Structure 1
Amino acid sequence: MNMPHDDDYKCQSFSQTSHKGNVTGKSNEHYVMSRMLDHNTYPWAWSKCSRHYLTEFLDAGHGSCLEDKPLVENLITDNNIKDNPNKQPGEIFNEHKQCQLVFGHDSKLCSYMPVCRRLWCTTGDADVEGCRTQHMPWADGTPCGDSKWCLKGACVLKDLETLRIVDGGWGGWGDYGECSRPCGGGVRRSLRECDNPAPSNGGRYCTGPRVRYESCNTHECDNESKDYRSEQCAQYNYDNFNIQGLPKDVQWVPKYTGISPKDRCKLFCRVMGSSAYYLLKEKVVDGTPCGPDTFDICVNGACLPAGCDRRLHSKKVLDICGVCGGDGSTCHTQSGYYNESSYGYSTVVRIPAGASSIDIRQISPTSRDDNYLALKDPSTNEFLLNGNYVVSMFRKNVHASGTILEYSGSDSSTERINSSRPIVSDLIVEV
């Protein structure tokens, strides 16, 4: 479930909280995900690190493997337990039987050791005297004195009320937190806890969502020419992560093609000028579009539906003019032809920012007429497609000007560049 051991480097940033609730700043007790058991083991609680990673795992929707209800007969193999479902295990198996279950048939309790905290047992070997332990407590319900039994490693008064099954109930929703983005469509979240009351003694945990999200800061950013994923990759510029072969002044750009749909909300970045790419972050920032060809956005590592208004679960779409929620009446068609002949690259047209439903075609009797379409970014004067006399023969997607332009490939009888989404910066078409 994606949880590292408590001493893993991933847990170093988490200050440890003891089962008594005090922040210690160090791991002086071993929790469920401890790499080993010793006298500090407290096996009834998760560390702060484990709670974080387990919650992230489940909130991201990866917990479907837990939804099937296990069959009791597959879990319980001892008839004593089946016949006494309401009894504590220590009431069914005395301390000597517990030793036998752990260390073998001839093992017995070392009676001179402290009760409840740790189960110390004889070796069960006549040739080797002494006691040993696996640093686990006596089973809950084991008698430890007059009207007392063991509970979570402590000898306490036997009070059946403390074992009453309590089903959990949701508390109220908390306030929404900060927006993940200052503009361009961010996300903020609100939490509630299963503490009204908290479940105990095997009671049902609360069902339903623990976190809710809403859109925020959906207004456009001042400069939309650089997409948000590009900004996140650029934060790692000049950091080569000590990867052999990468220069110290490496520049990172988003990797879009060839990424599995389930990984769209991970930050894959490509080395500029190279096909090499790496996973630089497990999750993009909430509110990042899932891709350049969709308005759906990433939330906690999952791709959620959104409209063109950058709002979660919105149904708004672009009209033919590229207007969100429009009726197609705010634009007009601009068309033209180019039939000049000259050697080298010739400029056909400069398409302005905001243009949508772009369709560029190069029609010829044969696919090998030595005339090819090309695209250039006027802000950098660099080619985006078919530049420097190197032509792409096959179909491909061109990521440019905040959108995706589809290219048919030069080997097609009708060479074509088209895009339905509006572009956010000028493009130059050359031939």
Structure 2
Amino acid sequence: MRRFLLPICSWSTGAQTDQKGGEDVAEHLRAPAIIRAMCQGRPAPHRSPLSNCDGLLGVISVDGEDFFIEPAEQQLSLSKGNSIEPRVHILYPRSVLPKASGRDDSELYCASQDLPWSRAQVSGGVGEHTVTERTGGRTRRSVSRERTVETLVVADKLTVAFHGRGSVEDYLLTIMNIVARLFHDSSLGNLVHVVVTRLILLTEEQPELRLSHHADKSLESFCRWQHQAATHHRNEELRSSGLPRHDNAVLVTRHDICSYKNKPCGTLGLAPVGGMCEPERSCSINEDLGLASAFTIAHEMGHNFGMNHDGMGNKCGGEGEEPARIMAAQLTAAASPFSWSSCSRQYISRFLDSGRGDCLNDSPQTLNLVMPTELPGLRRSPDVQCRLQHGPTSRQCKFRDVCRQLWCVSRSKLCVTNSIPAAEGTACASDNGDVGWCFRGRCLPLGNRPVPVDGLWGSWGAWSKCTRTCGGGVSSSERKCDNPKPTHGGTYCLGVRGRYRSCNTEDCPAGTQDFRDKQCASFNSQPFRGKLYSWTAYTAVQGKMCSLVCLADGYNFYTERAEVVVDGTRCHDDPDSFNICVNGECKHVGCDRQLGSTLTEDKCRVCGGDGTTCETIHGEFSKSIPWGDYHKVVHIPRGAVNIEVEETVPSKNYLALRTKNGFVLNGDWTVQWPHSLTLAGTRFLYKRPVGEVEKLSARGPIDQPITVTVLLQERNKGIRYSFNVPLKEDHQASFAWFLEPWTPCSASCGKGERKRVATCRRLLHLTVALSEQCQAEKRPPNKRQVCSAQPCPAVWRPREWSKCSRSCGGGNRSRTVVCIRAPSGATAVILDNSLCHGPPPPSKEACNAQDCPPQWVALAWSRCDSMCGPGLMHRPVLCKSADLTQTLDPSKCLTTSRPTVQRHCTRKRCPHSRWLVGHWGECSAQCGLGQQVRRVWCAASDQQPSMLCPAVLRPRNAQACQGACETSPRSLSEECRDINKVAYCPLVLKFRFCSRAYFRQICCKSCQGQ
């Protein structure tokens, strides 16, 4: 006799919201409803969980065959008052469900499996580019800091109607709880919290929010709508409610969205790439797929963080590469949706290091909003998850590997999958037939939840090779959060993870190709739109200082050939700025050409100087002279720096520049447009804004005298000027080249190199000056020589530490230590240990000394409580301290990992006692469904009463019965038809149920002639 275990279905009332102006705003959410289905005892493989909420609903697995049971949709009430009504149910095998023609179950996928989750943001065409300049690009190191995404969640009218007003809030919070867990996974490489700070449930159409199947237009409308709601507070009631602003907005819709067209298709979501913290672009739309919507929302939010799809322009997701994960372009069984790829980790780290995510640095406002704490699969059975995806008639239809893929009955009665796993906490069958639960795509023993381990930083890695040989390159060093790595939801490391330093800062030799031009020229051999071009650097694009934008030589268009330039490339083409690009961001470089240095030039352009090596010449040319000709304003000598010339008030006159060879600006009665020009060894900026004063400026020093003149078109209204000149008149005698002392040898042993670099210095104080101050033709060559020729000594070198033997409570780890000789630039050679001096580094050490959390301790099982046959065994389970010396309150231990306290047992075969039954009594109903009972007792072989019969084998003493009703001829006007809406009448025929009055009534047409 088989038993089916029925779980108890309990529920609580949902959260309250206030309806305001056509939208419901969840301001104060109470604890969400908790639905839990648990089976008592240790289920055998043939026992399956059922729901008895509003009738029996679920699956019964018997001897390898799966049977569905559910209440008949229409039945007559057979009770009065408030008594519980008996329900008629239909039981049928899964094998009767139709399958797609010519396909096996494993080949059936959802309609969206070949289409992307979302499309990446596409840049504009070649030609006229419009680039949005973003704010927040401050100088920084690569720092891992805690981030919080304050999220607005909006459910459209269709979603609210589908789930019901009383359930949709708990449903949405459960989804966002899964999203938060995904962003807490250590594979992200950053500590990101996703919190819901605002929840809007739309119950009416919004006049400025237009949602349809067209994903692009819906996204545009939603992003605009949520931005207006956040900034303008157009709804007075919302503003007065005190609800906080949000960093990111998520729309959940029941529209079957499709990118590029207003028809249903397989698109699941859409989001602007890199839009996080940009108020009009930090948003996404997501098609409601049940609890699986969490993976779509996490995927689209990843796009907001600047992530591209795995396998699109990166080395993830391709054949022989790291598998695609959350950012997979398609929903397939091969993708792993519980973790992030290394490519996604690089994208988000670059995005956050750039400063574009700085809006996430603040802590959210404290709200009375309770997020679910249980795993979502404990609260929603697989059938419920299927109904959330495929509608109210769906149910689970394939039961193997549910933790990897949830298979459901679709609206067309096919067994299909969206290639998404069942929610964590969903009941599953382990390999040995025991009931377990799903956790991160695996079926683990029920209640088994690995203990979280927080991550700690490892040691710093070696400095990388310099990115440039001259002109100022960058060397980097990184450390990883792997000592230990955070696992099972543990916290990711916070602090600096990447550091950078300047290297090879000396000027490049004269005639060296510009570094940006060199990078652009590397694309000359790569066809662009089917044609080869010669490329040169183009730096006039606003906001693209560290992107490689190149101009096609001889053509009037430019394009971005690389997302980022090589580290060490100058941010600007201004020779007076030393700032360089690192990791795609412009970083500050001091006047000493050191990354992050705070040294600045004084007014004399002396790096770190005090302004005492020059004097300031300033004045105003206000002489009243005839207009209609050029007139000298001021003569600026060689060596002058920080030159500024401007009108006192706007006029029709024009500034001009002249050298000994003639005019170079606005000469010969020809006025030029504002621009920059290279003159006298420096760059002059000429500005003439409409309605403002005319200006000339240069940082200098100039290597030849310059005369400033003015072309008078009207009376002279005044011209101011100022510049700084060295204190000594003899400029050439003030500066000289010096060979600096030898640098330290690049290697302490073996073959190394040292060098002496020529530096321009002031003779007065011997302070370092700009190279332009000295005569280039007299510069001595840099000197290099081999050094440290003595052989390298043998040294001890430890290998990597092994994994700690324990995760807490004090373990041990070991490593191999070898004796090597490592000449500079050569491969290390392993030597005999006797050649190394001194004691070797330790090969063993203690690790993970932190205290272990309390744990459950199960004591011995009791004896079986039956004298014979089947029974139960019991045992005490205690919550103990890590060292097992103290017994703690059970609340101190993790409830989900508590061992079982009872199990089934079987004693010796019972004596020949057996259950005896009497005859069935009369049916309690004269017409229709009733009940009849009989006597059941236990008797020994001598027919004497006994107590040794197994209780689990006791026959039932009551059963349903059908009282014979008087039949009357059917009215000619009454139509004989099938009234069952679920189309089970064919099953009634198949199982020969027409002989029963109830089925004959609801399946009249099908049962005719039977």
TM-score higher than 0.5 here?
yes
Task: Write out per-residue CA displacement over residues 202-239 of structure 1, whole angstroms, 9 at most, x where no aligned residue.
Answer: 33222223211122222222238865444444555687
The residue identity in structure 1 corresponding to 2:327 is: M
Assess, with a 3 A threshold, how the Cα gap between structure 1 residues 309 and 112 changes in structure 2: closer, same or farther: closer
* CA shift for structure 1 position 59: 2.5
The residue identity in structure 2 corresponding to 1:154 is: R
SS at match of 2:495: coil
Q: More displaced, 48-57 or 36-45?
A: 48-57
Q: Which of 406, 411, 422 is the aligned partner of 2:685?
A: 406
* CA shift for structure 1 position 43: 0.8
Distance 1:217 1:427 in 2: 33
Contact 1:113 1:120 in 2 (8 A): no
Q: CA RMSD in A?
A: 4.6
Contact 2:535 2:550 in 1 (8 A): no
The residue identity in structure 2 corresponding to 1:206 is: C
* CA shift for structure 1 position 301: 1.9
Q: Which of 251, 255, 262 is the aligned partner of 2:539?
A: 255
Distance 2:521 2:404 in 1: 54
Distance 2:438 2:390 in 1: 20
Assess, with a 3 A threshold, how the Cα gap between structure 1 residues 121 and 275 changes in structure 2: closer, same or farther: closer
Contact 1:119 1:133 in 2 (8 A): yes
Q: Which of 396, 411, 426 is the aligned partner of 2:675?
A: 396
Q: Which of 570, 584, 597 is the aligned partner of 1:289?
A: 570
| 2:417 is aligned with 1:133 | yes
* CA shift for structure 1 position 308: 0.9
The residue identity in structure 1 corresponding to 2:455 is: G
2:394 aligns with 107
SS at match of 2:677: strand
Distance 2:691 2:386 in 1: 77
Give the alignment of 1:221-260 within 5 angstroms. Answer: 221-223=508-510, 228-236=515-523, 241-242=528-529, 250=534, 252-256=536-540, 259-260=541-542
Q: Which of 306, 312, 322 is the aligned partner of 1:2?
A: 306
1:144 aligns with 428
Assess, with a 3 A threshold, how the Cα gap between structure 1 residues 270 and 114 changes in structure 2: closer, same or farther: closer
The residue identity in structure 2 corresponding to 1:279 is: E
Task: Write out per-residue CA displacement over residues 258-317 of structure 1, whole angstroms, 9 at most, x where no aligned residue.
Answer: x43x43223334456777543333223222333214333222222222211111222222
Distance 1:62 1:253 in 2: 26
| 2:376 is aligned with 1:97 | no
Distance 1:238 1:116 in 2: 50
Assess, with a 3 A threshold, how the Cα gap between structure 1 residues 106 and 415 changes in structure 2: closer, same or farther: closer
Contact 1:237 1:252 in 2 (8 A): no
The residue identity in structure 1 corresponding to 2:353 is: D
* CA shift for structure 1 position 103: 2.0
SS at match of 2:571: coil
Contact 1:407 1:418 in 2 (8 A): yes
The residue identity in structure 2 corresponding to 1:43 is: P
Assess, with a 3 A threshold, how the Cα gap between structure 1 residues 6 and 153 changes in structure 2: closer, same or farther: same
Distance 1:75 1:240 in 2: 56
SS at match of 2:425: coil
Contact 1:240 1:250 in 2 (8 A): no
Q: Which of 61, 77, 89 is the aligned partner of 2:355?
A: 61
SS at match of 2:676: strand
Assess, with a 3 A threshold, how the Cα gap between structure 1 residues 15 and 129 changes in structure 2: closer, same or farther: closer
Contact 1:107 1:122 in 2 (8 A): yes
Contact 2:521 2:534 in 1 (8 A): no
After TM superposition, the score normalised by the length of structure 1 is 0.70
Q: Which of 594, 598, 601 is the aligned partner of 1:318?
A: 601
Q: Which of 546, 561, 574 is the aligned partner of 1:265?
A: 546
SS at match of 1:58: helix
Assess, with a 3 A threshold, how the Cα gap between structure 1 residues 130 and 59 changes in structure 2: closer, same or farther: same
* CA shift for structure 1 position 121: 1.6
Q: Which of 467, 471, 474 is the aligned partner of 1:180?
A: 467
SS at match of 1:405: strand
2:486 aligns with 199
Assess, with a 3 A threshold, how the Cα gap between structure 1 residues 333 and 90 changes in structure 2: closer, same or farther: closer
Contact 2:546 2:586 in 1 (8 A): yes
Contact 1:289 1:298 in 2 (8 A): yes
The residue identity in structure 2 corresponding to 1:192 is: R
Distance 1:255 1:388 in 2: 31
Assess, with a 3 A threshold, how the Cα gap between structure 1 residues 303 and 387 changes in structure 2: closer, same or farther: farther
SS at match of 2:396: coil
Task: Write out per-residue CA displacement over residues 130-181 of structure 1, whole angstroms, 9 at most, x where no aligned residue.
Answer: 3111111122222224252222332233463x43233322222222212222
SS at match of 1:263: coil
Consecutive unaligned residues of structure 2, counting only runs of 5 or more, are 1-304, 618-634, 710-1010
Among the aligned pairs, what percent are the same residue?
38
Task: Write out per-residue CA displacement over residues 25-76 of structure 1, whole angstroms, 9 at most, x where no aligned residue.
Answer: 257x542122221221211233343333233222322223544556897997
Contact 1:396 1:409 in 2 (8 A): no
| 2:45 is aligned with 1:45 | no
The residue identity in structure 2 corresponding to 1:93 is: R
Assess, with a 3 A threshold, how the Cα gap between structure 1 residues 106 and 176 changes in structure 2: closer, same or farther: same
Consecutive unaligned residues of structure 1, counting only runs of 5 or more, are 18-23, 335-348
User: Higher strand share goes to which structure?
Assistant: 2
Greater radius of gyration (CA): 2
2:867 aligns with none
| 2:463 is aligned with 1:211 | no
Contact 1:190 1:211 in 2 (8 A): yes
The residue identity in structure 1 corresponding to 2:560 is: L
Give the alignment of 1:365-404 within 5 angstroms. Answer: 372-373=656-657, 391-393=671-673, 395-398=674-677, 403-404=682-683
The residue identity in structure 2 corresponding to 1:422 is: P
Task: Write out per-residue CA displacement over residues 383-416 of structure 1, whole angstroms, 9 at most, x where no aligned residue.
Answer: 98569986315x4333568753122559999987
* CA shift for structure 1 position 191: 1.2
The residue identity in structure 1 corresponding to 2:698 is: S
SS at match of 1:209: strand
1:301 aligns with 584
Contact 1:30 1:37 in 2 (8 A): no
Contact 1:171 1:192 in 2 (8 A): yes
Task: Write out per-residue CA displacement over residues 407-429 of structure 1, whole angstroms, 9 at most, x where no aligned residue.
Answer: 25599999874412436x87998
Contact 1:225 1:402 in 2 (8 A): no
Assess, with a 3 A threshold, how the Cα gap between structure 1 residues 111 and 407 changes in structure 2: closer, same or farther: closer
SS at match of 1:220: coil
The residue identity in structure 2 corresponding to 1:419 is: A
Assess, with a 3 A threshold, how the Cα gap between structure 1 residues 117 and 316 changes in structure 2: closer, same or farther: closer
